Amino acid sequence: MGNMKINVVFFDLGGVLVDVHEANLLDNFQKLAHSDPERVQAILARLKNDAEEFQRGHFESKDFYRKALAAFDCGFDFSSFNTAYTDMFDLKYDVVEIAQKLSRQTRISLISNTDELHYEYILEKYPELFIFEQPTTSFQVHSLKPEPVIYRSALSKLGIEAQQALFIDDKPENIAGANAVGMPGILFTNAENLILELNQYNFLLNNLGFYSTHETHKINERNQHG
């Protein structure tokens, strides 16, 4: 491990760079559809296959909206749907700090299972994520992790071999998918362990500082404004 030359580090998005609050989705659609949690949960479960196809880029945002509209059988507009569907992410500032420090030592990029609405929302809300070079998303390449296509697309886009890259994800099956195409991986648990793991690949990363304080400030600011 210590002798490997890594030229690109790929990060996962949800679960690594952003926290995903599934409970928000249920709460948001309860309010939007004026319905009870059991009914909303059942409808969201029925939409799961459509959501996966949306992540694969097999249909457009408005098509997914129409499917949700039919499933809920009520008349919310696209803007209200978009807000309910996307307002479920918080940036992990400590991991972004690691990525920023890492970007001074190597190239960094993204490989993410996501859809057009979620991805646009996250980038608009968190411009800190524009530091990643030529991200690869499932809806753009029509493939989901842990399928080989999405990893190979990311490698091809950056012009590197699998052995020259390192992949960080919070799901073991996605790490296994990267390994299957020849890419080493780190299973993400928390920021502190990630630093230790990255240092084993000859990166020099110190303890966290700035974003821990920055995150606290952001949380306090949000609380003050309701």
Per-residue pLDDT of the chain (226 residues; tens, 9 = 90+): 545 689 999 999 999 999 999 999 999 999 999 999 999 999 999 999 999 999 999 999 999 999 999 999 888 999 999 999 999 999 999 999 999 999 999 999 999 999 999 999 999 999 999 999 999 999 999 999 999 999 999 999 999 999 999 999 999 999 999 999 999 999 999 999 999 999 999 998 876 664 444 443 443 343 334 3
Q: Which residues contact 208 (CB under 8 A, 6 or more apart)?
A: 94, 97, 98, 191, 192, 195
Place of tokens 């500082």: 209
**Inter-axis angle of helices 78-86 and 22-33, nearest 10:** 150
CA-wise closest residue to 43 among 75, 77, 68, 79: 68
pTM: 0.89
